[in-house]
């Protein structure tokens, strides 16, 4: 089997070791996408693939065979995921990863750039983000549009629920 270099994008970090910036007292700002990305990246690493999870904070470290690579992002709820994923996509394309796996529909819109850079992509839909209570007004149709854009550009798509 050929070993692949896989970049994981669209999450804050590992659910089991989140960056300090994603703790508010005892509350942890980590969700299902982080759990899914952690499980999948560890499973791929056990199979001999070189997996890098681009994180929003923390240190450049190895965690169970998965490289956790912190990167730049705009702070704030509306621009954080997309800015971080944009930065990570540019870095992953320039570093010639074999595959980029995006978690969530908003970050998945960066699959367009990966396609232009010739890197195959997978977008995993973690939920219908445009319907979540936290997003209102112009943000909802924007997330829906970004999701459609990413899914059309991706080489493959998966969903965690029907």
Q: Which domain holds residue 95?
A: 5-159
How many other C-beta atoms lie within 10 A of the C-beta of residue 24? 8
Per the structure, the count of domains in the chain is 1
Taking the CA atoms of the chain, what radius of gyration do you get in angstroms?
Answer: 15
pTM score: 0.85
How many other C-beta atoms lie within 10 A of the C-beta of residue 7? 27
Q: How far, in Å, CA of 98 to CA of 105, rounded?
A: 21
CATH number at residue 33: 3.40.50.2000
Q: DSSP secondary-structure letter at 57?
A: S
* Contact (CB, 8 A) for 85 and 71: no
Query: pLDDT in tens for each of the 162 residues of the chain?
Result: 679 999 999 888 887 665 655 555 555 566 778 888 899 999 999 999 999 999 887 778 888 899 999 988 888 766 788 899 999 999 999 999 999 999 988 888 899 999 999 999 999 987 776 667 777 787 788 778 888 888 899 999 998 866
Residues 131, 116, 45, 84, CA torsion sign: negative
Q: How far, in Å, CA of 108 to CA of 121, rounded?
A: 9
Q: How far, in Å, CA of 141 to CA of 123, rounded?
A: 19
């Amino acid at each position: 089997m050929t070993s692949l270099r896989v970049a994981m994008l669209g999450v804050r970090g590992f659910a089991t070791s989140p960056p300090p910036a994603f703790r508010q007292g005892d509350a942890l700002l980590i969700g299902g996408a982080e759990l899914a990305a952690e499980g999948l990246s560890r499973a791929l690493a056990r199979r001999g693939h070189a997996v890098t999870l681009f994180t929003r904070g923390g240190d450049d470290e190895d965690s169970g065979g998965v490289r956790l690579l912190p990167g730049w992002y705009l702070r704030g709820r509306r621009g954080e995921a997309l800015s971080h994923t944009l930065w990570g996509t540019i870095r992953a394309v320039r570093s010639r990863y074999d595959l980029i796996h995006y978690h969530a529909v908003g970050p998945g819109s960066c699959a367009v750039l990966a396609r232009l850079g010739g890197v195959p992509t997978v977008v995993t839909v973690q939920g219908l983000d445009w319907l979540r209570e936290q997003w209102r007004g112009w943000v909802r149709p924007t997330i829906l549009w970004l999701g459609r854009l990413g899914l059309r550009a991706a080489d493959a798509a998966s969903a965690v629920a029907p």
